[in-house]
């Protein structure tokens, strides 16, 4: 199996492969609507999966979104001046989604 980092190196080194279809944001959003579970794992610099993994679901409850946005604003008050409106706009127009995740135990 090829990992994301190796794929990107391969695509950028061989111009002919740059025409391969990579999923668009619309494809990802569609897949998130079709599946109730999202699997998250960071990729380490050596290309291996991190042991820090989680399962996530898309938050669709607006009151939960609002509570999370308020908590983020309280915690990151200076940064939230810039990022708060971006998050709210993105959630409203569908260009962003909020994920609820729970860490997987190893």
Q: What is the pLDDT of residue 17?
A: 42
Q: Across the chain, which distance is largest between two alpha carbons, in Å?
A: 48
Instruction: Kindly give the confidence (pLDDT) of every residue in the chain, 106 residues in length, as a single tens digit, with 9 standing for 90 and above.
Output: 566 666 666 555 555 444 445 566 667 667 767 777 777 778 888 888 888 888 888 888 999 999 999 999 999 999 999 999 999 999 998 888 888 888 776 5
Q: What is the pLDDT of residue 73?
A: 94
Contact 58, 101 (CB under 8 A): no
Q: How many Å is the Cα radius of gyration of the chain?
A: 17
Q: What is the pLDDT of residue 62?
A: 92
């Amino acid at each position: 199996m090829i990992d994301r980092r190796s794929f990107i190196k391969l695509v950028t080194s061989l111009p002919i492969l740059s025409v391969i279809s990579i999923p668009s944001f619309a494809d990802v959003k569609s897949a998130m609507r079709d599946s109730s579970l999202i699997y998250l794992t960071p990729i380490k610099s050596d290309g291996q999966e991190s042991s820090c993994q989680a399962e996530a679901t898309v938050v669709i409850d607006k009151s939960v979104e609002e509570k999370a946005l308020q908590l983020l604003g309280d915690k990151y008050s200076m940064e939230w001046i810039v990022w708060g409106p971006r998050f709210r706009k993105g959630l409203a127009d569908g260009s962003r989604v909020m994920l609820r995740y729970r860490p997987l135990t190893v």
